[in-house]
Structure 1
């Protein structure tokens, strides 16, 4: 295999047909150009240039190599430039998604600040159901998501925590827990829990060895999960924002007094941390810190 500097030297000399001008163009010495071309000719097995005291010419093999290698190398360079632009550039489009009404409200604020800073980048906001969040990120359908932390996946990167909120238990309005001021993590073992697909907020862990009841039904969406709760088919651990954004006459929200707070932040594929993603994450941190 030939190396990049050999390709560049060959194509430059094939165009200039002058070792001195080629050396100036590549910012190397004339001796370095001669050495590189001789090495390339040894690899090919035949001369690529005819050299005299007056002129440099391509041989038939050299002309054929230039004709075939030139367009291919231009395509490689273009592909590399596009990859660099995708990684470092901030212009373009950023696809952002969210999984709850409160997350949407925060995302709108972050997007506004981001657009003020980078007007050349369009931000498209989309809602996703919890079970589709990771597939969308992995497929590239979206670039990053505002969701609960941590992502808990080795191929996903977590941004800084943006919001912390108390955990609550959504129960049917006529459930005995609805008359209590608080419940504990251990109380969760006494009720059936409605299941949501990953990626969603995990229920808090119990501190004791209590045996949990059988899991409740699985819901496809968050609204469906709350409907199942209201119908008496189970309870659902949620964040405190749910009481404000999803108020329902058939559901009561009871604080879980010994559960750690639920944390929210941005997550994105670890191998696609582009300049646009980093700039959006910076805007999110600045907004919640009051520096926007």
Structure 2
């Protein structure tokens, strides 16, 4: 492995090839073998060592026609430089493995049961190409998934778009689903086949931190009336079921959160809710790329966008 780094020495800089030449000669104690190991000429080895000795100010090697040995200063330099150089090479190698490698662990988060089911399928495809990389799937609340991605606690997460953060990026849209409105089973809306976005101003909406399922408000429309704030999606549905408000949600909620006290109605004029994998723009590692590609293969392998369970 070649490390393109320089080290300071006194008022000058010791270059990579000088370090490698010195360490190799200190261990081979033979100019010819050192030259062969480094794939350079013997003259180049001699020139490099003389330049290094001028910078240090004292000889590093005793040379005779038959014998090469380290001086006292040379032994000291080798003793101190070898472990430092090995540590530097190991650190660079670890960085390379993190950026390019497909081993280790990949932490992926989700915010709904449907997303968890999808990630399980993506993981199976991912492991076909990266069997040595462990995928750890974790649940996150809607208001915590993006902060956990930014902090590096998780590598990427499956969540809804759009993103309002220039430090984050996302892969292709994996799922598009209709938007629904969860209302109490006894609410007048529950007798309708669907609602419009304008209807959302007629009911109090339960607030849920990080919840992005609320469709965009039409220009000129009055703001929606807000109901109590919930800490989790299940808590929000409980508030709905007890008649304290309504809750916009993705269509998957009708299957994964079916409740006798709640009715789900399509919001017929709302744009589809889009789901994608999100990760920090500056941490686009090989593992992240491979996982995003696995998701794209699973969902778009036949040229269509998968629809979530209805």
Q: How high is the TM-score relative to the length of structure 1?
A: 0.89
Partner of 1:257: 268
Structure 1 residues 2-47: Cα deviation after superposition (integer angstroms, max 9, x where no partner): 2322222221121122233222212233333333333333333333
Give the alignment's Cα RMSD to 1 decimal: 2.2
Partner of 2:86: 74
Counterpart CA distance in 1 for 2:104 and 2:41 is: 40
2:243 equivalent among 232, 248, 265: 232
* 1:62 paired residue number: 74
Inter-CA distance 56–102: structure 2 relative to 1 (3 Å threshold): same
Q: Distance in 2 between matches of 1:177 and 1:68?
A: 78
TM alignment of 1:155-166, pairs within 5 A: 155-166=167-178
- Name 2:3's counterpart in structure 1: none
State the partner residue of 1:210: 221
Q: Quote the offset at 1:75 in angstroms.
A: 1.3
Partner of 2:183: 171
Residue by residue over 1:176-195, the C-alpha shift from the partner in whole angstroms, topping out at 9 and shown as x without a partner, is: 33233332323323333222
1:224 & 1:86 partners in 2: Cα distance?
A: 39
Evaluate the alpha carbon distance shift between residue 12 and residue 254 of structure 1 in structure 2; reply closer, same or farther with a 3 A threshold.
Answer: same
Gaps of 5+ in 1: none
Distance in 2, matches of 1:181 and 1:244, equals: 17
8 Å CA contact retained: 2:213, 2:250: no
Write the distance in 1 (CA, Å) between the matches of 2:295 and 2:85. 41
Q: Which residue of 1 aligns with 2:127?
A: 115
Q: CA deviation at 1:167?
A: 1.2
TM-score after normalising by structure 2: 0.84
Give the match for residue 298 of structure 2.
Answer: 287
Secondary structure of 1:260's counterpart equals: coil
Alpha-carbon shift at residue 214 of structure 1 (Å):
4.5
Structure having the higher helix fraction is 1
Return 5+ residue gaps in structure 2 as ranges. Answer: 1-7, 9-13, 303-310
1:49 to 58, 61, 64: 61
Indicate the SS of the match to 1:243.
helix
Counterpart selection for 2:231 from 217, 220, 242? 220
Task: Look up the SS of the partner of 2:136 in the other structure.
Answer: strand
Partner-residue secondary structure (3-state), 2:114: helix
Q: Distance in 1 between matches of 2:212 and 2:50?
A: 64
> Match of 2:203?
191
CA contact (8 A) 2:202 2:225 kept: no
In the aligned structure 1, how far is the partner of 2:248 from the partner of 2:269?
Answer: 13
1:163, distance to aligned residue in structure 2 (A): 0.8
State the 4+ residue runs in structure 1 displaced beyond 4 angstroms. Answer: none
